[in-house]
Amino acid sequence: MPNAIEQSQRSQQEQSPQREHDGDSSGPYTVTTIGAIAVLAAVSAATVAALLAFYFASQHGVGPGLRDVSHLWTFAKQIGQTLLAAVRSPAPILVFALFLERWIPLSPLQRDLTRGFGQDLLWYLIDFLRQLSWIPCYLALLVSIKTRLIGSFALIPAGVLPTAVGWAVAILAWDLLSYLSHILRHRVDFLWRFHAIHHSQREMNFFTQHRFHDVDVIVDLTIRTLPLLALNASLPTLGIFYAVALAHFQLYHSSIRSNYGVLRYVLVNPQSHRVHHARDPRLHSRNFGIFFSIWDHAFGTQYPHCDEYPDSLGIEDQGFPIDQGTPLRSVLRVYAAQVLYPFGVL
């Protein structure tokens, strides 16, 4: 007969998958407090260095690809102001989301304030800082690259389309490119390692929308922005659209039991996006839509069942530094470990 130790080990092995399914196990991470400080300092230093370099180049017309573009700093500030307006005022939408999570919750036992919520709140604050700093500068840099490559050429010259039609074309093009970018970041292994950070959350919530690695953000911005510039799409128009769309993104990441009824054929919704975040990797290849669901329906990537709400979320990698099961004091260490995860250094 097996002894007590063997029985205990067997019992632990049998219980382990259930703990993983419930998201209660503490993910491994090896970043020390000093290491976490070093990672945060490096991210901060890189952001400040990029800002100073861009500002110097735009003011003095020096640097590769930046000659005679002193207007870019002003352009970057305009973009930054629009993005800032989008990320600094989520309070009314957050209250509405919390109300919906109480009114139509996925589970009657679900909690509003969880460990995952706290970790994603930190990601939101980081996203807030990059929207203030390097993202506007990077968008302005992409404008400079487009100008150097094709000058003022545009597939749709200014004034050809009525203003309202031009806005509609810009928004639909932005969403289609976002859809294609999303697919690419899933199917190219190198890009997936960074995008996996977004999918690692086992407790989707209002702030999960902001859990993105900086490299993932750069790739996505590049894929979406350069073609839009060739289309002569209005970036200020898209900035205003993004400010409105952000509320939609935050709502469909929340734990709300809704598929929006007939609107699900047009809009991404909490049910469809929860399927996309399911731990089952087969479901990662469904429901790639960002704002509209029309592309999933058109290209055959829409999951056919509109009433399924997967319980098990996250990614398969057991080595990922997950949020659950870690003390609150480790929030910066977990963040640093998640930032380092795609590089395989843990």
Nearest to 266 by CA among 228, 244, 298: 298
| DSSP assignment of 54-109 | HHHHHHHT-STT-TT-THHHHHHHHHHHHHHHHHS--HHHHHHHHHHHHHSBSSTT
Output the tens digit of pLDDT for each of the chain's 346 residues.
444 334 434 443 333 333 333 333 444 555 677 777 777 787 777 767 766 666 665 555 544 444 444 555 566 666 666 656 655 666 788 888 888 988 998 887 777 678 888 899 999 989 888 887 788 778 878 888 888 888 878 888 877 888 888 889 999 999 999 999 999 999 999 999 999 999 999 999 999 999 999 999 999 999 999 899 888 877 777 878 888 898 899 999 999 999 999 999 999 999 999 999 999 988 888 999 999 999 999 999 999 999 999 999 999 888 898 888 777 778 888 899 999 999 987 6
Q: What is the pLDDT of residue 115?
A: 81
Q: What is the pLDDT of residue 195?
A: 97
Q: What is the pLDDT of residue 54?
A: 61
Nearest to 31 by CA among 321, 261, 306, 246: 321
Sign of the four-CA dihedral 163, 168, 169, 171 = positive
Q: What is the pLDDT of residue 189?
A: 95
Nearest to 76 by CA among 58, 53, 62: 58
Beta bridge partners of 292: 267
Q: Where are the domains of the chain?
A: 71-343
Q: What is the pLDDT of residue 232?
A: 83
Q: What is the pLDDT of residue 194?
A: 96
Q: What is the pLDDT of residue 84?
A: 62
The answer to whether residues 32 and 337 touch, using CB atoms and an 8 Å cutoff, is: no
Q: What is the pLDDT of residue 15?
A: 38
Q: What is the pLDDT of residue 152?
A: 79
The answer to whether residues 206 and 250 touch, using CB atoms and an 8 Å cutoff, is: yes
Beta bridge partners of 270: none
Map residue 256 onto helix, strand or coil: strand
The answer to whether residues 84 and 131 touch, using CB atoms and an 8 Å cutoff, is: yes
CA distance 336 to 330: 10
Look at the block and give the residue holding tokens 């020096």. 62
Specify the pTM: 0.81
* Dihedral pair phi/psi, residue 166, rounded to 5°: -60, -40
The answer to whether residues 40 and 345 touch, using CB atoms and an 8 Å cutoff, is: no
